[in-house]
Amino acid sequence: MPNPLLPQGGGPATSDDMSGMDMFVTEGSLPVVENQLVDKLTKVVDSLIPGLENLERVVSGQVPKPSGAAQADSSNTLLVRIKEIAANMARLEKKVETLSLPNSSNLTAHTAAKPSNLPPRPTSLHSEKAARTSIPSVAKYINRFKLGQVVIRKRFDQPKTFEGLTAAAICQKINEALVFAKATIDNDPIKVKAVAQFPNGDVKIFTKDQRAAKWLLNNKHL
């Protein structure tokens, strides 16, 4: 049985010194986006989550609904609103993806200027169709826009977590443990996309999405 996936630790990074940071990316590259823009996009997405989760609870029956025709009309309205939000999020995702490409500012401007490149706006559905349509999980959809992150902090009274290992070796070690544990989410294998090792001993692990990061935290002793 291999060592635990992750040693004790977690939480925000504690070091601002980037001069000695060791970074390894498994394939491709992480999107290069200005910090201010990342913060703005994160705040926008975070502000949408509570409202979307409320809509999800209403549609899933966790909140009392009116009966009869009023219920059907209410469900139809909620479905249309959710589809509009999903279309807007798809447009936002497309813009974010272009930021990691060369000359991203020009590409973004051209893309935004062509309505034909945008997903079509959803059309209203009849109440009887809305009553039969299943609503996808809003939380799962939102998490697609965020890389998962797990931070292992070095405690002052303990040695460095991965003493003597490079970021590439750390990434390989964790991915080997994940393969051994047959770690999957919805039959999709969990993999570490990148590892950053800071001079003070903190280690930040990047995963495909937040669900994968949560899985790592919940199963770090496997």
Comparing CA positions, the residue from 165, 160, 162, 149 lying closest to residue 205 is: 149
pTM above 0.85, yes or no: no
Identity of the residue numbered 62: Q
The one-digit pLDDT tens for each residue of the chain (222 residues) are 455 556 555 444 444 444 556 666 665 555 555 566 666 767 777 777 777 777 667 666 665 655 555 555 666 676 777 777 777 777 777 776 666 555 544 444 444 445 555 555 555 444 444 444 555 555 555 555 567 888 877 777 777 777 788 888 888 998 999 999 899 988 899 998 888 888 888 888 888 888 888 888 888 766
Contact 2, 180 (CB under 8 A): yes
CA 65 to CA 58: how far, in whole Å? 8
C-alpha 98/C-alpha 105 separation (Å) is: 8
Domain ranges of the chain: 22-29+147-218, 35-143
